[in-house]
Amino acid sequence: MITDYRLPTTDYRPPVTQKEVITLKIAILGGTGNEGFGLGYRWAAAGHEIVIGSRKREKGAGAAADMRERLPEGNIVGTDNLSAAQQAELVVLSVPYWAQEGTLDSVKEALADKLLITVVAPSGEKKSRVHTLPSGLSAAEEAQRQLEGVTRVVAAFQNIGAHHLLDLDYQLDCDVLVCGDKKADKEIAIQLCADAGLRGINAGALQNARAVEGMTAVLIAINIIHKVKSAGIRVTGI
């Protein structure tokens, strides 16, 4: 369980002489893809235990071996998605939208009471144009509906490009919009943003993920038009 993984309140004053570091065992379903792999790499570098999941156990194991080669001190293993979800305290969904429903069905029982953070951003035939799902919901809301009564879903990292994630010296100049229905759940995601070298911002209810997921297509269009690779979002005024 991860109920103790919380950011300090405004009244909290940590000890000056010692900083408590809380680590999690994080499963990344679809962790062989660029974004899932990149986020896992940064979290492993921050001290978290990483379990890379894939549809095929050997593919997950191969990605883990690659990550350990890049980060020998990291605590990293790889397996199939179900085994990864069973081992972890927290689960990250990083698969293409078309694979979301099937992946969640295959691991549903293993997700009981484990927070799910989804980075899924649906795209249509033209990825640079906003795609509206037939349900009218966001992919994150569809995931929550599918997992109703099992666990809670938070949406984050949809607008983060994978291009620089493997360069730990690179300063990622963008914010992460975090959507969810419980503040405590969003605080966990916001802390993971910080662990990856990003600023996470509470962006309201899970319903707001509709706008956040759509912004991914806008950023892809900006990348194409301006011939760049890592357009992002920066929130001002806070």
Q: What is the pLDDT of residue 12?
A: 35
Q: What is the pLDDT of residue 183?
A: 98
Q: Read off the tokens for 103.
A: 């992946």
Please tell me the number of Cα atoms within 13 Å of 238 on its side-chain side: 8
Q: Is the predicted pLDDT of residue 201 greater than 60, yes or no?
A: yes
Q: Give pLDDT tens digits for 8-56.
A: 333 433 343 344 568 999 999 999 999 999 999 999 999 999 999 999 9
The whole model's pTM is what?
0.90
Q: What is the pLDDT of residue 230?
A: 85
Q: What is the pLDDT of residue 125?
A: 85
Q: Residue ranges per domain, the chain?
A: 25-226
Lowest-confidence region among 10-19, 74-83, 129-138: 10-19
The rounded mean pLDDT for the chain is 91
Q: What is the DSSP string of 53-102?
A: EESSHHHHHHHHHHHHHH-TTS-EEEEEHHHHHHH-SEEEE-S-GGGHHH
pLDDT band at 127 (very low <50, low <70, confident <90, very high): confident
Q: Is the predicted pLDDT of residue 194 greater than 70, yes or no?
A: yes
- Specify the length of the chain in residues: 238
Q: Give the whole-angstrom CA distance, residue 216 versus residue 211.
A: 9
Q: Is the predicted pLDDT of residue 5 greater than 80, yes or no?
A: no
Q: What is the pLDDT of residue 229?
A: 87
Percent of the chain at pLDDT above 90? 85
- Most confident range, picked from 122-136, 137-151, 216-230: 137-151
Q: Is the predicted pLDDT of residue 74 greater than 50, yes or no?
A: yes
Q: Read off the tokens for 14.
A: 């940590």
CB 31 within 8 A of CB 78: yes
SS3 116: strand
What's 25-226's CATH class? alpha beta
Q: Is the predicted pLDDT of residue 71 greater than 50, yes or no?
A: yes
Q: What is the pLDDT of residue 21?
A: 63
